[in-house]
Amino acid sequence: MQLKIKLLIFFLIFGCFLKCETKMQYKIPKSKEILWGENGLVRKLNLAPKNRKEELKLRQKMLKTHQSMGLMTLGMMSYQYYLGKKLLDSNQEYKMRHKYLGYTTFCSYIFTASLSIFAPPAFRYSDGISSIKLHKYLSYIHFIGMLTMPYLGYLSSGALDYKNNSGTIEYNYSEKASNIHHYVGNITFYSFSLAFLTTLLP
C-alpha cells in the first residue's frame, strides 16, 4: 500500500514537473505567437513543419543564414556609411553610388530581418539578461532607423524643396533632412554593428 502511495506521489510530482517544463519551453514571445502559436498564421496556412524537431532544424538554418546575411549587410552598410561621409564633405561624385547602394543595402537588410522574424520559436526563452535579448533590443533601434533612412534620403536630395518664380529656395527641406539623415544613419549603423557582434557571443 505504501509503495502504491509513493508511486502515486512520484508520478504526480513528475507530471507537474513535465507540465511546468513544457510551459517554460513553449512560452514564446507575442511576436512569435502570432506566427507560430497554436492559432498562429503559419499553422493556419499549414506551412509549419510536421513536428517540433523539424521546426527547430528550420530555425537553426534560418538563423545561420540570418547571421551570414547580417555580415554581408554590415559590409554594405559600412561602405554606405563611408560614402555618406564623403557626401557630407561635398564630394558629390559619390551621390549616385550612395543612392543605388542604399537601395541594395535596404533590400538586404529587410531580407536579413525577415529570416529572424519568421523563424520558428526557440526551444525555451530565458527571463534573464542574455546576448540574444541584447541583440533583440538593439534590433528595435536599427529597424526603426532603417525604415526612416530611405525617406530621409529622398528629402535630402531636395525633391520637396520649394522654389519661387525667381528660382530661390523658400522651403529648404533638404538641408534639415540631410542633418537628420546623418544622425539617424550613425545610430542605425552603430546599433546594427553592435547587434551583429552579439551574435558572436555565447
pLDDT, one tens digit per residue, over 61-118 is: 999 999 999 999 999 999 999 999 998 888 889 999 999 999 999 999 999 999 999 9
Closest CA to 80 of 151, 198, 181: 181
The pLDDT of residue 5 is 53
In the chain, what are the domain boundaries? Answer: 1-48, 51-198
Can you tell me the distance from the alpha carbon of 106 to that of 101, in angstroms, rounded to the nearest whole number? Answer: 8
The pLDDT of residue 89 is 85
Residues of the chain with pLDDT under 50: 4, 6-26
Per-residue cell: 127? 527571463
SS (H, E, C) 10-47: HHHHHHHHHHHHHHHHCCCCHHHHHHHCCCCHHHHCCC
The pLDDT of residue 167 is 64
The pLDDT of residue 138 is 95
pTM of the complete model: 0.80
Which amino acid belongs to residue 189? F
